[in-house]
Structure formats: C-alpha cells, structure tokens
A and B are shown apart, each in its own frame.
Chain A
C-alpha cells in the first residue's frame, strides 16, 4: 500500500534521487528582482498585460458569483435602472414637473440612468474590491490594480443588457433617432464612464485599505454624485458659466452624450465633453499612481 512511505524508513540505504531529463530544452528564465520600493512606483503596464488571464478570471468569477446568488439573476441589470426611472418619473417628472428638454420624462431619465448605473455600480464595487479580496492578496501575488479594474469591467455585460432594453423601449416609443452616425458615440462615452469609474475606484479602494470608513461613505457620495449629474433634470436649467464648470463632472458628458445619441435631445457633445474627458483622465492617472505608491502596504494591513 504505502510504498512511498516505507522507502527510506527501516533498513534501507538511501538512494540518491534521479533527475529526469527534460523532453524539451528549457525556455529562458525570467528574472524577478525584489527590493523595497521608494517614492513613486512605475505603473508597470506590461505586467498588467502578462497577468491578463488573472483579470479575465477575476471578472468571470465576479459575474458568476453575483448572479448565482441572486433570485432574478441577470435581470437585476435591467430592473435597477427601470425601477429608478419609474420613481423619478413619478416624483420628478409628474409631481415636481421637472422639464425634460422636450422628450417624455421617462425616456429622458432612463437614457441617463443606464450609463449611470454602470458608473455607480463600478465605483461601489471597486471601492471595496481590495478589502473583499484581502484573503487573496495576502496569499498570492498578482498586480493589485487588477482587483478594482476587474470590478469595474464586470459591469460591462450588465450595461450591454440594459442598453439593449433601453434601445428596445426607445424604438417602441418611436423616438429613436434615425441614422447610425451618433451611435458611434456610445462606445466612446462608455469608455469615458469606464475611465471615470476606474479612476475613482482606484482612489477609493486604495484609501479604503488604510481607512476602513471610506467604504461606508461611498454609497452616500454616489447618491450626491447622482444629483450633481443631469439625470433627473436637464443641465439646461443651469446658466453659464456654471454649465461649463458643471462639465468638470465627467458623467455630465456621458449622460448628455447618451441622450443626444439616442434621442437627439439636448445639445450635441462638444467642448464640455472634452473637459469631461480631461477630468476623467486626470482622475485615472493620479489614482493609478497613488494606488501604486500605497500598494506595498496592502498585504501588511489587510
């Protein structure tokens, strides 16, 4: 039975181990250097590419687990914006009579809510990503930047689904804009929302490891941000120069762009979107550098 156990016990002479010949010549070895890092740490984007399979599996795991645990599964991606649209339509659209740039209020709100949910969920999920993956970070190495990134990216399928439903509703209402040109905007706007969510997520997740009350402030901050974005109301309510300063909020550009591309309402994206994009990039780049700088403390604090 346990031949392997008996091998060097009892009355045997110890045989020296054989080294089996390799069937193929060994590939050149990679060298890793481990040293204390000082000051600013480079982003090492190449390493992120090398670990792309880890990113894929993190996203895959998040999506699978999220839907396995829910009763209605993927439908949640659609129910969230729809239910919010209903509430907004009743209270803001009908009762408070908030203007909606000439289109029916529900569509006005929904077209904004779909990209908003992607952003809001991305921020909330990624803010907590490091703490939630603490059990993994203390046991195995992978570029920690992938944890919040995976959380934000895992919202893309949800966005796709709710966008399909949105398109369906708009088309059925007859207000769908003809001609395909503006639709090219949608991927670009999604990218802007993604960049913003990721940038904010990197800042928050890194801060949350050190200061655990950050994750409690996030839902509140996201709510405030919702009202600072023209989702329930049009930005035409604001006068200049406030309207341009308002554009510093990158989600303003995203939301207005979605509305314009799908429903031809509001003004076409222009100067304010450029401001939005710049703001988003700044948040992302500063977030990434801050993250890398504090990254070395994660395994010790988690």
Chain B
C-alpha cells in the first residue's frame, strides 16, 4: 500500500466557460436588482444559485455546451521513487491535474490519494513580496512551500549560497534583477525535502546556465529516491530525467509508458504535417489583411518535394505568400526544431536589397537553402513566419508547418564517416580537420 505514492482514480474537472460579463465579475448589485425585478421566483433562484454556487466558475451543468471537461476519466498510479513526466499540448489539462493534486482546486469527480508530504512548485517565487528583503522572502516562501521554520533556519545559509545573493540578502526583492529573483526562488525550492514533489514548467524561466543548474538539482533529487511529478514542454528534459511519462491531450491520458517512447509518440502525433502544406482558401489561410501564407514545402535542389533528405544534400524550404497591402517591409523567416524540441536555428531573409524595400502587392515565393552537411540526422520540424520590423509584428506564424527527415546513408563521406554509434549534437557540420606530426623531442 505505501509503495504507491500517488493514486489517481477517475479524476475529472469540469469548467464553466462561456460569454464573460462586461464587467468581468458577477456583481452583487445585479443579483439584488434581479431580486427586485421579480421577487418571488428570483429570490428562490438567486438564493439557490448563491447556495449551490451556480455562479461563474462553479457547479456547471455537464449538458451545457458552455461547460467543458478539462480532465476526464484520468487514472494512474505513481510508485514511490518514480520520476513521472507529463507532456502534452497546451490546454490539454496538465496544469489542471497538477492543481488538483496540489489541492489548489477541487476535482468535479473521482478521487486521488497522496501518501506523503507534498511540495508543489507551480511558479517561480511563490509567496515572494517585493517590499520584503531576500532573507525575509526566504522565510515567507519556504513556509508557503511547506518548510517548517526550523528547517529554514537550518538551511538558510545553504539557500543564500546556492542563489549567490549574499551581498543582497538584506535588500528588498523589488530591487533584484530578474536573474537574481529566479535564482533565489529556485534556491528556496531546491532545499525542500518533501516525499513528493510536483513541478510545473518552472524550468522555462531563467537563462541556460540556470536551467542547467535546475536540471542538475533535479537529478540530485532523483538520487534521493523522492517521487517527482514533472510537467514540461522541454522534451529533452523529460527524456533525460523521467523514467516514465504520460501524454495528456484533450483532458485524457493518451500514452503511458517509458519516457522516450511517449516522447516520440508525442512528436510523431504532432507531425500531422508532412513535407508540404497548402491553404487553398485565402480567408482561412494564416495571416492578416496585410499578408497570408498559402503554401509551404520542403524541396531538393532539383525542385522536388521530399520527405527525407540526404545529409550531404542541400535542402530548400519554400513558401508562397500573398501580399495584400503594399508598402510594408516584410521579411520571411523559418525556425528549425529537432525531435527533442530543441531549436536548431532560425533564419530570416536579411539581404540588404530585400529588407529595405517595401513590398508591392502580389504573390511571392521565398526559398531558403540549408547547405548540406549542416543538419543532424533525425526529424526536423519547420515553422514559418513573415515579419515586419516597425512596428514589430509577425503577419503570420505557423509552428511545425512542415517536417522532413535527414538521413545519413553511411557512405563514409559525412561527419559520421562510418561510425554507427550514437552521435550527439543539434547540428552535424562536416569540419575540416588538420593534423601534423611534431618532432618527438619538442614534446615537453
């Protein structure tokens, strides 16, 4: 019994959505004026509504089309010591699940059992108040995250040291740079010692070195045998840290298994794209009344649309777009991601002639050529957009519009040569290597 840390059984959460009121919030005076208008019916209705909370956000009716299930029929168990990752598209219900398990919001149906002390990191700097000093905020945040005062006393120096804010610990936090703020917040969280840790995308903030520190700390936590529930969009973090993952989409669990398999399933499913996409109807094509994207494809240097490309060959990404209003500076751009979600690079058409001239009306085809022997093997996801500098805006932006595979046929003349093993790297350039022999007696 106690080797299950978390047991979730048929959990569901129903939200009322629908037309929001002009003032945003329900007003008591509206309820009162409704009462005045038709005292007897409305009194019963209003009283019953307040009583059963049929007001905004509560006790919605499942038959009402304005009410949606953010989660439904979700069941799983987490054995003690497991690191479980949760991935899925935005709005799938991942954060709702965490909120329910953190007891911030109540489920509409179902049941969850948690065995052990829980700490939830749903944001960076829980409880921080800008007017208080660093030291005061450590106590405040630590308490809210579930540490006892004695624990905080014991760890205070370690926390300050981890965050690297010794000089500023008596300064109000409102004067901290955003980097310091995040480091301090994470330092407090890093010294939590719960049985079960729930983490929601907090790794998305901070710079690269900080993210490395966070990941390292989470590895450390893993070593201590704690149970962790980890939601992230960073697929490489999920595959690195988690043994098992759940894919949640549309409020239900779609996949449950080893993290690398679930991650691939996720990447593949969102690849409902192929190497070519067309938007035949201008009214629904991505864009606005200035420009619209009509067509995008991946092609070879011979102009053929391809889904798989030899690693040595150059690859073209071609978009066709309509400019509906003349006079704008427009620059097309592409973004390239690999199958772990890491960004390989981005490219915008920055050529002087092209970028300084406002574009006339008409239909344009822009192609970007990626040289051979640059991309790494695997799946490449391509997003496209059209940018104007002043004011800065994207007229259209489509993530993961098309995708293609880069294949190395192991003929021996690529960066891989004939090595069959695993090679790391987001890119795979074929570099020039030189080696010269040096006389033995000069090697001191």
Contact = CB atoms under 8 A, between A and B. Distances in A.
Q: Which 9 A-B pairs have the closest CB atoms?
A: A211-B28, A10-B424, A4-B216, A141-B103, A34-B112, A297-B58, A212-B25, A296-B106, A19-B225
Contact of B57 (A20, A33, A207, A300): A300
Contacts of A226: none
B106 A140 contact: no
Interface string B198-216: 0000000000010010011
A10 B423 contact: yes
Contacts of B129: 61, 65
Interface string A4-26: 11001111000001111010000
B15 interface: yes
B144 interface: yes
A98 interface: no
Nearest to B117: A30
B424 A9 contact: yes
A275 interface: no
Contact of B104 (A8, A17, A141): A141
Which of A30, A64, A140, A214 gathers most chain B CB within 10 Å? A140
A210 B144 contact: no
Interface in A79-111: none
B212 A4 contact: yes
Interface stretch (A112-120, A122-130, A131-139, A193-201): A131-139
A85 B104 CA distance: 45
A19 to B, nearest CB: 4
Contacts of A301: 56-58
Given A32-B103, A64-B132, A211-B27, A19 B81 contact: yes
28 contacts: A4-B215, A11-B424, A29-B2, A29-B195, A31-B113, A32-B118, A34-B100, A34-B107, A35-B110, A37-B106, A54-B144, A61-B132, A65-B131, A68-B131, A139-B123, A139-B126, A140-B104, A140-B122, A140-B144, A141-B102, A210-B26, A210-B53, A212-B27, A214-B28, A296-B106, A299-B104, A299-B105, A300-B15
B55 to A, nearest CB: 6
Contacts of A213: 27-29
Contacts of A32: 103, 113-114, 118
A224 to B, nearest CB: 17
Contacts of B57: 297, 300-301
Contact of A36 (B99, B107, B223, B240): B107
A64 B136 contact: yes
Interface string A202-219: 000001001111100100
B139 A57 contact: yes
Q: How large is the interface on B (under 10, 10 to 19, 20 to 34, 35 or more residues)?
A: 35 or more
A240 interface: no
Contacts of A19: 81, 223-225
Contacts of A211: 25-28, 31
A35 B58 contact: no
B108 interface: yes
Interface of B: 2, 15, 25-29, 31, 50, 53, 55-58, 81, 99-118, 120, 122-123, 126-127, 129, 131-132, 136, 139-140, 143-145, 148-149, 195, 209, 212, 215-216, 219, 222-225, 240, 421-424
A299 B99 contact: yes
Interface residues of A, number: 49
Contacts of A65: 129, 131-132
Given A65-B132, A68-B131, A136-B144, A33 B122 contact: no
Contacts of A30: 115-117
Contacts of B215: 4-5
A239 interface: no
B104 A139 contact: yes
Contacts of A20: 223-225
Interface in A244-259: none
B291 to A, nearest CB: 39
Contacts of A210: 25-26, 50, 53, 55-56
A142 interface: yes
A289 B414 CA distance: 73
Which of A8, A17, A20, A37 gathers most chain B CB within 10 Å? A17
Nearest to B147: A53
Contact of A10 (B53, B118, B422): B422
A35 B111 contact: yes
B28 A140 contact: no
A200 to B, nearest CB: 16
Contacts of B103: 32, 34, 141
A57 B29 CA distance: 35
